[in-house]
Amino acid sequence: MVSSRLVGVLVIVVIVFLASVVATLLYGDTLIPLFNGERYLVRMYTRYTYNLSSPNTSLSLSMVNAIVWDFRGIDTFYETLVFFTAVIASTAIYYEYLGEAVYYRRKLSPIPRTIHKLVIPIGLALGLGLAIKGLISPGGGFQGGVLGAVGFYILCFSYSLNWVIRRGLGYRVLALTRISSLILMILAIVSPVVIGWVAGLKTYVFQVSVRDNVYIGTLIYYNGYPLSMFILLFNLLEFAAVFSGSIVLLYIMAVGGYREEVRI
Amino acid sequence: MNTVLTYNLLALSLIANIIIGLYAVVAKPNLIKKIIGLTIVNDTVCVLLVLMGYRGIRSQPPIYIIDGTFSPPPHTVDPLPQAFVLTAIVIGFSFTVFLSVIALRIYELYGSLNLHRLLVSEVVEEVEPDIEPLEE
């Protein structure tokens, strides 16, 4: 007996396939024009990303990184703030229950726990690696933080939330980590600007590389080239903030809906 | 021709995905299904934006090759939509998280996620006080 839902899905698939065949035969070309590489903005960014003959270059191997940091750095900071706001708003709804809740205690059997012992450090290390390498390659603090949190989620399901919280990762510790990371992020952004303003010198904040005649900022050398340490710092702080924020969300989800059952 | 057909099939599948997501948002009374529909629309639009920078079957990622010359790949895709989509993904994730917590709270308070049931119960509460004086 074929269910009506399966029939509906099959009908949609067939309609989409037939529509694409008809469109291809009638139109003869791609419906969305393929990118031909002649866009002015793209040419500009391509030349800007890694051009040793120009003083104005990002020195980043990834074009997306060059755009994200050198042109859209403030946006990147604001998107972290949006995530913060979502976590804070979610916490505000369940704030009164987070401190006193007693969470689920049952652990998984020793076999999955042993496997997870091997998998969880890999997840955390990959997340941290993404955050550190986000300076010059695809990745960054947000992606790294979420990946690390996934490793931590496995730990929570394997060893129980109660086990994790008893080992010091309670709601208050995570909230403190989240807020201190945000404050340090803002300090890292503001302090070079203020120092430069007081000293009357040019500064750089959201830049992958170091510009000429700019003196205020921290340096890190990669393959012999000077890069801004600010983004490395920012990524690590964002990793801490997103990691702790995501775990708080897990606690909220665990409290919500089952509050009566988990509270003793 | 096969490449064009594949590309058109992908584009039309994404458009169908958007329609399905919008249908879930508009027609499904369950709040969780509405959130899932919103997520489908959000992610599909992200993929559609990235597809606009695609260069056909020869496309390569927008990363410089470490081969001593540091030259850009010959058929690199458009990096701009990818940079824009990064922000959209994070905003979408934050949005979904907040909506999920709101839905959880609604379920706790009203015992249902069905929007029709929630609206009907609210209407009954509003109507009752008006009816009582007439009965007296």
For residue B53, the distance in angstroms to the closest alpha carbon of chain A comes to: 5
| B132 has a pLDDT exceeding 70 | no
Alpha carbon distances (Å) from A62 to A54, A123, A196, A228: 17, 23, 29, 15
Instruction: Tell me how far apart the alpha carbons of residues A209 and A52 are, in angstroms, rounded to a whole number.
Output: 11
> For A142-155, what is each residue's pLDDT tens digit?
889 999 999 888 88
pLDDT score, position B125: 54
User: How many residue contacts between A and B have a Cβ separation below 8 Å?
Assistant: 141
Of the partner residues A62, A80, A90, the one whose CB lies closest to the CB of residue B101: A90
Determine contact: B47 vs chain A, CB below 8 A.
no
* DSSP 3-state percent helix, strand, coil across chain B (nearest 5): 75, 5, 20
Give the DSSP H or E segment for B120.
helix B115-135
Report which of A129, A164, A159, A158 is spatially closest to residue A144, judged by C-alpha positions. Answer: A129
Taking CB atoms and an 8 Å limit, are A35 and B94 in contact across chains? Answer: no
Report which of A226, A230, A95, A102 is spatially closest to residue A166, judged by C-alpha positions. Answer: A102
Indicate the range of A186-190, A243-247, A257-261 predicted with least confidence.
Answer: A257-261
Rounded mean pLDDT of A202-221?
71
Instruction: Tell me how far apart the alpha carbons of residues A30 and B114 are, in angstroms, rounded to a whole number.
Output: 42
> For B26-76, what is each residue's pLDDT tens digit?
999 999 999 999 999 999 999 999 888 888 777 888 888 767 666 777 788
Alpha carbon distances (Å) from A4 to A1, A8, A9, B13, B30: 9, 6, 9, 21, 20
> For B63-110, what is each residue's pLDDT tens digit?
887 676 667 777 888 888 888 898 899 999 999 999 999 998 888 888
| A264 has a pLDDT exceeding 50 | no
Q: What is the interface pTM, i.e. ipTM, of the complex?
A: 0.81
Of the partner residues A24, A67, A253, the one whose CB lies closest to the CB of residue B80: A67
Q: Which residue in A17, A25, A30, A81 has the most chain B C-beta atoms within 10 A of its own C-beta, making it the best mutation to test that interface?
A: A30
Taking CB atoms and an 8 Å limit, are A83 and B64 in contact across chains? Answer: no
Indicate the range of A67-71, A105-109, A152-156, A177-181 predicted with least confidence.
Answer: A105-109
Of the partner residues A16, A32, A50, the one whose CB lies closest to the CB of residue B16: A16
> For A28-70, what is each residue's pLDDT tens digit?
888 888 777 677 888 788 888 877 777 777 777 788 888 888 8
DSSP state of B57: G
Determine contact: B7 vs chain A, CB below 8 A.
yes
A199-222 CB burial, b ≥16 within 10 A, e <16: eeeebbbbbbbbeeeeebbeeeee
For residue A201, the distance in angstroms to the closest alpha carbon of chain B comes to: 31
3-state secondary structure string across chain A: CCCHHHHHHHHHHHHHHHHHHHHHHHHCCCCCCCCCCCCHHHHHHHHHHCCCCCCCCCCCCEHHHHHHHHCCHHHHHHHHHHHHHHHHHHHHHHHHHHCCCCCCCCCCCHHHHHHHHHHHHHHHHHHHHHHHHCCCCCCCHHHHHHHHHHHHHHHHHHHCHHHHHHCCCCHHHHHHHHHHHHHHHHHHHHHHHHHHHHHCCCECCCCCECCCCCCECCEEEECCEEEEHHHHHHHHHHHHHHHHHHHHHHHHHHHCCCHHHHCC
**What does the block give as tokens for B11?**
């584009």
